[in-house]
Structures are given as C-alpha cells and as structure tokens.
Amino acid sequence: MRKLFKKDDWFYLLYTLTHPMDGYYWIRHAEKGNVPIAILSVILFSFCFTANRLLASFVVNDLDPRGIDSLYELLGVLAFYLLLCVSNWSVTCLMNGEGRLKDIAVAIGYGTVPISLSLLIATIYSQFVADDEQAFYGILLGLGVAYGAIMMLIGIMQIHNYTLGKTLLTLFLTVIALFIIIFLILLLSNRLALVFNFFRSLYIEIIFRT
C-alpha cells in the first residue's frame, strides 16, 4: 500500500494542481505520475458528486434523494473514466501522441481533483444559503468545473506534446471514439444475448422433448 501511494506523489499531485503545465510535463518525462492516486481521486470525485446531489441544501437542490444511489453513480463514473481514457488513448495513438495509457489516466484523474474540491466546498456552503443567494454557490461549482476542465486539457496537451489546436481536435475525435466504443459494446452485448438465447432455447427444447 505504501508503495502504491508514495508520500512524494501526493505532494506532486498538489504541485500539479498549482503548476499544471510543468507538473504534467514531468509526469510524462520523469515518471512523476501515480496511477493509483489518479484512480483514487476519481473515486473520491464520484463520492463528492453524489454527496453534492444528496446533501446540498434543499434551497439549491431540487433532486429527489430517493433517486440517487452512490454505488450506482460510482460505477457510472468509473466506467466513464475508463471509456474516456481508452478512447483518448486509441485516438492519440494514431495521431502521434507521446502519452501512454498510464499518463492519460493520470492526466484525467488529477483533473478531477479541483472539481471534487469545489463540489465539497459548495455542498458545505449550501447549508448556509437562503433563497436568491445561490449565485455564489453556482460560481463555486462553475469555477471548480472550469479549473478541472483546463487541468485535463493541459494534461492531455502536455503528455502527448501537442499544440492547443491539435489537443482540441483530438478531444473532439475522442468524443466520437467514445460513441463508437459504446455502440460496439451495445452491439456486442446484443449479439451475445442472441447467442445465449439460442442456446437457452435449445436447452429448453431438449428438456421438453425428453
């Protein structure tokens, strides 16, 4: 455990948060990134996300708590994270990206940290808010999401050694790749279900005939 989550790597996460350009550069070129920490921060992001939806004061939150399931959302966030990493990797592989899957995972994982923080702070702040004072709550969330998005953008840019324009292009292609992957998964599961049903009906037929 201690090997996986080294103390220096935690400090390096903080350094990356404050100096994204530099931080991500050395993540690619000096093996400063830490994948377990990145995955952990994605999991924490999922918890913060659920906490915000579940616990934010009812003045700012119109969601039905009965419709929120933290485990389900964790699975969703992890699946989306995996998809995003894989699709970005598959696109950048073809477009001369220098980053490895490991670096992409770190870039996106570290990028969720400011979003988690803003979600947490906004959730606590929302407890002390009255109607028509929600503006600051919105600004807090907006700032966090913007910072996170910029972090991820810079991360992708630095680890692949891209220009900004190329990064945006690859991100666009990443989204398309994401849809293609989802489509393929759906197709596969559908076909597999058909095959399974075929064998199942065979089995039922045999059972009924004997």
Partner 1 sequence: MKKSHCWKKLACLLGMAVFVLSQSLPVSAKSIPYDSYNYDYREYIRYTPAAYLPAGNVDIADYVFQGSPVGKLLSPQDLCADGKGRVYVADTGNNRIVVMDEALTRIEDVIDGFINQGKEDGFNQPGGVCISEKGQIYVADSQNRRVVVLEKDHTLTRIIADPQSESLEDGFVFTPLRIAVDYADRLYVIAQNMFEGIMVFEENGKFSTFFGTIDVEISLWDKFWKRVATKEERSKQKLYIPTEFTGLDTDPKGFVYATNLDANGIQGVRRLNPSGVDVIKKGQNLNLGGDLQTAGTTEYAGPSQFTDVTYRENGIYSCLDRKRGRIFTYDHEGNLLYVFGGLGTQDGTFRLPTAIEEVNGKILVLDGTLCEILTFEVTEYGRLINEATALRYDGDEASAVGIWERVLELDENNELAHVGIGKAYLTAGDYKQAMKHLKIGMAREYYSVAYRRYRNEMLRKGASAFLSCMVILVIALLVARRFRKKKRRR
What is the contact surface with partner 1 in residues (CB under 8 A)?
58-59, 64, 66, 128, 130-132
Task: Write the single-letter amino acid at 97.
Answer: G
**Minimum distance from CB of 131 to partner 1 (Å)?**
3
Of 96 and 127, nearer to partner 1 (C-beta) is 127
Q: How many Cα neighbours within 13 Å face the side chain of 99?
A: 32
Q: Among all chains, which residue has been given the structure tokens 């994270």?
A: 81
Sign for the CA dihedral angle at 62, 68, 70, 74 comes to negative
At 117, list the tokens. 């923080």
**Minimum distance from CB of 76 to partner 1 (Å)?**
22
Of 16 and 52, nearer to partner 1 (C-beta) is 52
Of 131 and 165, nearer to partner 1 (C-beta) is 131
**Minimum distance from CB of 138 to partner 1 (Å)?**
16
- Say if CB 30 and CB 100 are below 8 A apart: no
**Minimum distance from CB of 2 to partner 1 (Å)?**
35
**Minimum distance from CB of 204 to partner 1 (Å)?**
30
Of 72 and 128, nearer to partner 1 (C-beta) is 128
CA 69, CA 33: separation in Å to the nearest integer? 31
Contacts of 39 (CB under 8 A, 6+ apart): 81, 105, 109
**Minimum distance from CB of 123 to partner 1 (Å)?**
17
Q: Where are the alpha helices (DSSP H) in the chain?
A: 7-18, 20-29, 35-55, 70-94, 101-126, 135-160, 164-209
Task: Write the single-letter amino acid at 138.
Answer: G
How would you class 189 by CB atoms within 10 Å of its CB: exposed for 0-12, middle for 13-18, buried for 19 or more? exposed
Of 134 and 161, nearer to partner 1 (C-beta) is 134
